[in-house]
A and B are shown apart, each in its own frame.
Chain A
Amino acid sequence: MAAQMTDAHRRFLQVLMSHGIMEGSEARKLHRRCCEIHKVYYAHDKLDDFISTINSHLQPLFMQIRKGMSEGDGRAHYALVNLAETEITKMASDYTENELELFRKAMDLIILSENGFASSTEILNLADQLKTKKMKKKEAEQVLKVFVEDKWLSERNGEYTLHTRCIIEMEQYILSNYQDVARKCNICHSLAIQSQVCESCGIAMHLPCVRKYFRAQTEPRCPQCNDFWSCDIPGTSRMDSQSPSKTGRAEKSFILSPRRC
């Protein structure tokens, strides 16, 4: 039934795990290298088949290599994820309780924010309110750094958002735990943390999806309600990946109304 795994598959998996997440072109290079090292059949367009062989063996372990998109630049990424949805399982064995609580709080702020970012000040202010065990600011700063290193958060100019790896890993968790707030992108139907939202009907789109979608249109109109799309269309040239937009910071996190741009 399922194709046999070879050492090429195992090597691919080992390297992917040690990186946590890999960008598409890196993964393609690795695919080739693994096949060459172990002298197994290689075809440049067969990465997805190669991965699905690995996945068929990971399935009984509730793990999977999943493909996701970076919300900043729209590039494909691969990450090994844990399918157990009940808890932040993968993190649970790696962090202490108050570190996990800080992470959850940061995640709250990010998901409830206008633009998918929370400032370090906002997050650090919560450090001495942790129920499990309070943290000093300095300590919390250090923990945030570890979350960035471990690719759960990414940081740009003191603003934090969820790392692509985290989104790939926790998409289901977020969608079910933030049912009323978490949005799905109208174009690619995945979870959207950094997004633009239609002022009229409230649908959301990832920035790279917005860019791609409107590229073909003379006048930007919402794919859902056909109203004029009033957000700035992210530059058609190079886009500043993962950098928080300056707009929409006025409204504070706990307002659950649709994010406007």
Chain B
Amino acid sequence: MSQRKRSKVSGFSQGDDGDEDFNVSQTPTHSQVQRNLERRSQDQVNQKVSELVQFLLVKDQKKIPIKRADILKKVIREYRDVYSEIINRAGRTLQEVFGLQLVEIDTRHHIYILTSNLPRAEGENLRRDNQTAKLGLLIIILSFIFMRGNSAKDGAVWEFLRRLRVQPGERHEVFGDVKKLVTEEFVRQKYLEITPIPLTDPPEFKYQWGPRAAKETSKKDVLRFVAKIQGKDPTFWTSQYTEAEATP
């Protein structure tokens, strides 16, 4: 990224607080984007928009967070001067046609994911797909973390999973390498955040919800899930209930 042009187009400045992104219409550079747009044919720009939409959909399919650097390098290429227009249009299309929203989950490193804009349907926690079993494991871990006060130590998480007969060292017939699934795949997909706890020896880790988890499910849904399994009313857990009701 070091050789980025010193273009004034929004979305290109090296600033790292990220609020310049995707906000063309409010920046004074709007007219410049307009001028750049006029140099490009509509067909070329449309082509780029659809390439970007496809790129984002493919990445999203595997739940790989998308780096702006990759968008620039792999899709936008020589169209950097109209980048903001392309990404805005792609965002609009994703919303109108696919019901998906492009969300920046890391404003420092400019990392994006797609989340569904559709109202969550009854009994449809997290997006349904052929990885349902893995997501089942995930929801169990997310509930455990939430019930523990939004943070749990690795030892506790694995002890809990062991009781469910999910062993980190063994190959699970559905999940494969469980350790890898939890500590790498779920983390990469931004469902989980695992951070080392300072000054622990041997090192201990803290498990928390990642930004995708908060987007694709809610504390309310997770509490409802726990309540159903335990055959109790959600209000049984007073503090969790209050917290869940207070978060959208």
Contact = CB atoms under 8 A, between A and B. Distances in A.
Interface of A: 5, 7, 10-11, 13-15, 17-20, 37, 54, 57-58, 60-63, 82, 84, 89-90, 93-94
A89 B127 CA distance: 25
A5 B129 contact: no
Interface centre among B49, B57, B97, B117 (most CB of A within 10 A): B97
B68 interface: no
Top 6 nearest A-B pairs (CB, nearest first) are A10-B99, A18-B129, A61-B50, A37-B121, A57-B97, A93-B58
Provide the main secondary structure of the chain B interface. Answer: helix
B57 A17 contact: yes
A228 B117 CA distance: 58
B118 A14 contact: yes
B127 to A, nearest CB: 6
Contacts of B97: 5, 10, 13, 54, 57-58, 61
B72 to A, nearest CB: 14
A18 B99 contact: no
Given A60-B46, A61-B50, A14 B127 contact: yes
Contact of B50 (A13, A60, A90, A93): A60
Q: How large is the interface on B (under 10, 10 to 19, 20 to 34, 35 or more residues)?
A: 20 to 34
Contacts of A84: 54
Contacts, number: 66
Contact of A13 (B54, B98, B117): B98
A13 B74 contact: no
B96 interface: yes
7 contacts: A7-B99, A10-B118, A13-B97, A14-B116, A14-B127, A17-B61, A20-B130
A141 to B, nearest CB: 14
B43 to A, nearest CB: 11
Nearest to A61: B50
B118 A18 contact: no
B55 interface: yes
A206 to B, nearest CB: 26
Most chain-B Cβ atoms within 10 A of its Cβ — which of A5, A61, A63, A82?
Answer: A61
B166 interface: no
B66 to A, nearest CB: 10
A218 B60 CA distance: 52
A11 B118 contact: yes
